[in-house]
Amino acid sequence: MSEYKEIFKAESEEHLQQLNDSLLGLEQNPNDLEYINTMFRSAHTLKGMSATMGFNTIAELTHEMENLMDMVRKSQLAISNGLIDILFECLDTLEALVATVDSGETVNITSLQATLVRAMEGTIATGEITCSIAASTSTIENDIGSELQSAVKIASETDIELSEAEKQAIECAAQDGNRVVSLKVTLDESCVLKSARSTLVLINVTKMGEIIKCEPGEEQLEDEKFDLEFTVIFSTKATDEEIVGNITKISEIKNVVPTTISQSTQNDKIDHDKKENDEEVHQNSSSVKRSDAVKSIQSVRVNIERLDNLMNLVGELIINKIRLNQLASDLNAKDLDESLANLDRLTNEIQTEVMESRMVPIDQIFSRFPRMIRDLAKSEGKQINLIIEGKEIELDRTVLDEIGDPLVHLLRNAVDHGIESEDERRKIGKPVAGLVRLAASRQRNSVLIEVEDDGKGMDPATLRDIAVKKEIMSREEVDKLSDTDALNLIFMPGFSGAKAITDISGRGVGMDAVKTKIESLGGSVKISSVPGQGSIMKLQLPLTVAIIQSLMVTVADETYAIPLGNVIRDVGIKASEIKTIEGKEVVLLRGEVLPLLRLHDVLDCTEEQEEKKTLIVVVVEKMGNNIGLVVDSLLGQQEVIIKTLDNKILKNIRGFAGATILGDGSVALILDIATLI
């Protein structure tokens, strides 16, 4: 049962996200009923799944939501802000119910159900609308041609009884140029969740056309009150091949038989037991066989722990590959070199595939923010337009799981601190609706995420005053800061520009937490702001935290790895060019004053007694500033496997992102530039 619960939760979260996206779209476009149709399908699927699993509370709530949305579809209920709020409350409750399926905790939905009932009872029914042209039914009936009359007659003479509304729907379909298809579906004998499979069939049918009739009815399908066969009559423009292809993608489907209800088949009946139907399946196409249905499955769910184990094994493989290459270079054997070249290629391909298998679209995080911004804007009394770009960009699952909270902090600050009130924006000539932009883009071996707003921006002078008032720095210290450094004051612990503490901000922990989390992932944070125009926060993140490209250097006979994402360039400078400013070593490089940091001093290593005339400097970047690290020698670029310092004594040591194993078996520490300096 626990296995099915995990599958249920995973699929439920997808449908809840679909409900959320559609509801947000409906709020912006109340006249677009396609959003309601999409929501109805998601709620209906969720209801079927939960009923099958025995989660009756979820099934009851989704059933009430279906009733309300059905009234909207039939123009018996108008879309209003109050109705949108009720549906959002239902969505939040469903999320809570799905989250508690493991614990077995109960959530009381009585009050919410009563609210839904009152919303429906407070309306005046306008009658059921069966098709878009039902208002002129008599005219349609007089004008339908012989082919339409034939189709209605055929449907009415079949073994499945059709109501007047269903006959009228067939007429409307024909008027629109669609054909009416009777689809007989047979499930596999091994099928356990018949209700779930039938629901998926109905969803796929809905994507191809409009369902007119189910036999048995939908409620009977949900309650699994049928054997292994059921029939769906629907209108569509799809061909038989397209219908068969779409339905057989669903697992545990044995046979699919589409039959067009038309004049040429007027003597045929929709008979569940006809032998000819089974023969037709085998004669028409092999794609309706169970074996081909299995072949059409395009993806599988894999536990993230299994992917982590696979990544660890690939890491060990790479370490051994480096070791073999090192031994081969010592032996200088041509045949061995050729074999190792092939091994190198295969190892790289395996590594790439494993890395790709861990990559997931950033949309999995971005998709939660439209609802959050909507609720924040409403509570703040502001109008906010959220623009999301780059949802298709992929990140390692480990990185993606960690950036959700930092992005929440940045977006909440943009709404609370950045965007002005509506009155303020009117006075200064800005559009009443504020703009918040969340964008992701690929930058070589990293991903850049930008959070931008068109609000009031940040004034460096004001930030200096706050730092002094909060006793974070003295007046003399802040006056020496450049404007860029002054903007970076917001990342100091305890710094906050909020005038009052609210549930959104004001405690001075948000931006500090953002910086700490991003840097722990091997990333960086940059900020730029123009007073009166807005601010941009830029998060630079590695694609993965498991395998990184590094520049290998030596300091006092010890080897260290510097992540290539932090490296700007490496240069050689003459010792005579080094100057001292306020006790700190600097050098003028390409017109820029570059601060120097000797890694011998930082790492507390023994430095050579003899002063070198030429120094090797690795220029690295931190918080938008360049710094030169003085090292003894460069060993070149190398791909390294990060081994985290999980030991209780080591894991809190600043300056190191982890360790790696070199080809000769020795251990090299990976420098964390963000915390080292």
Contact 324, 338 (CB under 8 A): no
| Neighbour tally for 165: CB within 10 Å | 13
For residue 505, the surrounding DSSP H or E stretch is: none
63 assigned to active site: no
Kindly state the helix (H) or strand (E) to which residue 402 belongs, with its residue range.
helix 397-413
* Vertex 130 angle, CA 126 and 135, to 5°: 65
Q: What is the DSSP letter of 663?
A: T
Tokens 């959700």 sit at which residue? 404
Instruction: Please pick, among 20, 255, 277, 413, the residue that the annotation labels catalytic.
Output: 413
User: Containing H/E element for 495?
Assistant: none
Its sign, for the CA torsion 53, 55, 56, 61, is negative
b/e sequence 65-85, b meaning 16+ C-beta within 10 Å: bbebbebbeeebbebeeebbe
Query: Residue 379, CB half-sphere, CA atoms under 13 Å: how many?
Result: 12
Active site residue 272: no
Cβ within 8 Å of residue 611, ≥6 positions away: 575
Q: Which of the following is catalytic: 66, 95, 229, 422?
A: 66
CA dist 607 and 530 (Å) reads: 45
DSSP per residue, 95-159? HHHHHTTTTT-----HHHHHHHHHHHHTS-------STTGGGHHHHHHH--HHHHHHHHHHHHSS
Q: What is the DSSP string of 570-588?
A: EEEEEGGG-EEETTEEEEE
CA angle, 16 then 19 then 21, to 5°: 110
> Angle at Cα 506 formed by Cα 500 and Cα 509, nearest 5°?
160
For residue 550, the one-letter residue type is: S
In whole angstroms, give the CA distance from residue 320 to residue 665.
9
φ, ψ of residue 563 in degrees (nearest 5): -55, 130
Q: List, in sequence order, every beta strand (DSSP E) within 575-655.
A: 579-581, 584-589, 592-598, 614-622, 625-631, 633-641
224 is catalytic: no
Torsion 16-22-28-32 (CA) sign:
negative
DSSP character string of 192-256:
S-HHHHHHHHHHHHHHHEEEEEEES-HHHHHTT-S-SEEEEEEEES--HHHHHHHHHTSTTEEEE
List 15, 44, 409, 417, catalytic entry: 44
Query: Mind telling me the catalytic residues?
Result: 44, 66, 413
